[in-house]
Copies of this chain bind each other. A is one copy, B any other.
Amino acid sequence: MFRALVVEDQNLMRLALMEQIQASFSDCVVLGAETLELATRELQNDDFDLVVIDPGLPGFDPTAQADRLAVVDKIIETSPSAIHVVVTGSDSSSEADEFRRVGAAGYLGKTGLEPGVFADVLEDISTNGFSMRLSRVAMKIPDYRYSGLTPREQEIIDMMTRRERGMKRTQIYELMADRLAIDAGTAERYYKQARAKLMRRGHTLPKGL
């Protein structure tokens, strides 16, 4: 049974991170703590395999390097056997080095931290021992979220809007089919279904349909 703890004060972000971890393991428990006190209490009561830390916690100055280090240090000391991943909004490679020295196995910037990268990061850590993903800004097309679409429909629309010029729809169908281990024809069906729904509701479809 894989056990993880996410220490992050922003509720929506904490829940999102917990969800990402859950998506990486078929059978697991993920706890979430808002404060260092609560986190410390849980780490003392139970063993964890993975601890995710945002150093900017209530009661500490998120811009003061001493405070940030104190938070990470305290958590690592309280759970020496766990894998520690630091997730922060204000990331720098110098801070990554600093946390690595005190025992962190991963360092991630929040900007650009997409759904699905957590699995990659854990993979990195288990093979290389360390994983760093600094913030990068690469968005050229906005996210589109339509109510009334099923997850699969939303997903294929997502992939279709992001498709590069010159790329055939068929290639996208194959890409999605590959990623989800389904049939390309099925992916095509999702796209057509989604498109029909949006048209019926009188939506102005984004470029790339």
User: Interface of A with B (CB < 8 Å)?
Assistant: 1, 5, 9-20, 22, 25-35, 38, 42, 46, 56, 58, 62-63, 89-90, 110-115, 135, 137, 139-148, 201-204
Chain B residue numbers with a CB within 8 Å of A10 are 13, 89, 110-111, 113
Nearest CB in chain B: distance from A8 CB, A? 9
Contact of A18 among B22, B32, B139, B143 (CB under 8 A): B143
Residue contacts A-B, CB under 8 angstroms, 9 given? A10-B111, A13-B16, A14-B143, A16-B16, A29-B144, A29-B146, A46-B204, A58-B111, A58-B135
Contact of A12 among B28, B30, B110 (CB under 8 A): B110
Q: Is the CB of A9 within 8 A of B137?
A: yes
SS of A interface (majority): loop
Query: Provided the pairs A1-B201, A10-B13 are in contact, do residues A29 and B139 lie with their beta carbons within 8 angstroms?
Result: no
Chain B residue numbers with a CB within 8 Å of A144 are 29-32
Query: Provided the pairs A42-B142, A89-B10, A139-B33 are in contact, do residues A25 and B115 lie with their beta carbons within 8 angstroms?
Result: no
Q: Is the CB of A12 within 8 A of B9?
A: no
Q: Is the CB of B147 within 8 A of A112?
A: no
Chain B residue numbers with a CB within 8 Å of A27 are 147-148, 201
Q: Is the CB of B12 within 8 A of A20?
A: yes
Most chain B CB within 10 A, of A27, A115, A137, is at A137
